[in-house]
A and B are shown apart, each in its own frame.
Chain A
């Protein structure tokens, strides 16, 4: 049943594709820049924080800003999976209570709109590498499998966060506060090298590995094997959790929202 739900939901790609796209349009309807408002605000943040932190950490801006930029782009994608995962079913109440659609449609819809937003933001990356004259070469292509793995994990997390949040309404605000904390303890605004001997602080952080497998290739380096192994382990855990929660509680979602 759960597998059929995922399959039938995926087959309805026209529906979730349009729903996800509408979600973004709705936010920026009648505004001049439209979805590029996202790009503009992220760009401003990257530049402002880039200059400030390069100064604070006494690192050359040429070195720091591209690192911060790619890190922030990837983090924004990952963070929205967590912080918006809680509302994917509760926000779709009017659909769920009126028509039987595979529940996975709401999951695909949210992942799709996050990918679209990421794509808009990604323009900044091209701007930054051009400005600083960085050419990551073919290594950058390694970011693609990394990104796929990251989106897969985000989607799986969305499934169980969404279902559990429909039942326990305290989860979304709880996650939001945790996400903020994670942002500061994960090497995004600071380089992991700054940890020196205490590098384990980054290594035990699952988010670090998921970010590394996308960020490092974009900056022209090959990620460590440990990053990949950790990412695969995280994927396995997420797969198990999502599978368990989805098969067990899928049919209760309509009752909970």
Chain B
């Protein structure tokens, strides 16, 4: 392996993703969905099935070193976009090209077996992220130091609090330097001191010329971790640019809605 990193990057061109709704009674479902003010756009496909258009014509380019905040209301397509970036959903239309290893941190619970110990879970999660047992063993000290869970790592995870769980999974997911890190905002579950530590670790990744994409509702979190922003609205990119610029625009509309209401 070459010592200097390949420049990781991610390009999306005209990506559209839609979910067919198969459940019975789709008519009533259609009604109930239509009354949602935000969220994915509803349409009918060629077979007259109801589909939720979760992403529409999304094109973007993310270069190494970018720390991108995904902002937007609930159901605007932030998580779907993260999943497309992670390769979980192959887009129906359009192309996604990524270079670099991806570490998605979309769910704390992934691969966590409540009945086995913290150490066992670390091994399991390491395997999911594509590490070898030797690599995992090598990282174990670093992980247990970061989590500060001490002897708790020896007992079943079902006894952990959600904050402890977050520290554990965060430590594992960030213990091998991914080139691209995708995160949903669950990272917020933790005390202030943990957030500070987490920030140090993330700063480390970005220093290694990687990409961070973080979906969050909190302007404060975005300011802590990000320098750029993508504003998602009803499955489309409404605006993209520097973080402050977009946050300002976003705050503007939020105030607007409040005024109208």
Give the interface of A toward B (CB within 8 A).
12, 14-15, 18, 22, 26, 29, 94-101, 167, 251, 254-256
Contacts and interface: CB of A to CB of B under 8 A. Distances in A.
By secondary structure, the A interface counts as: helix
Interface in B96-110: 102, 104, 106-107, 109-110
A225 to B, nearest CB: 44
B106 A98 contact: yes
A177 to B, nearest CB: 21
Contacts of A254: 83, 88-90
By secondary structure, the B interface counts as: loop
Interface string B91-134: 00000000000101011011101011000000110011110110
B20 interface: yes
Contact of A100 (B20, B86, B113, B124): B86
B128 A255 contact: no
A94 B169 CA distance: 15
B87 interface: yes
Given A22-B116, A95-B128, A254-B83, 14 more contacts: A12-B127, A18-B123, A29-B115, A95-B110, A96-B88, A99-B86, A99-B88, A99-B104, A99-B110, A99-B128, A99-B129, A100-B104, A101-B128, A255-B19
A97 B20 CA distance: 16
Contacts of B128: 15, 95, 99, 101
Contacts of A18: 123-124, 127
A-B pairs with the 9 shortest C-beta distances? A100-B87, A251-B90, A15-B127, A98-B110, A98-B107, A98-B106, A254-B89, A100-B88, A29-B115
Contacts of A22: 113, 116, 124
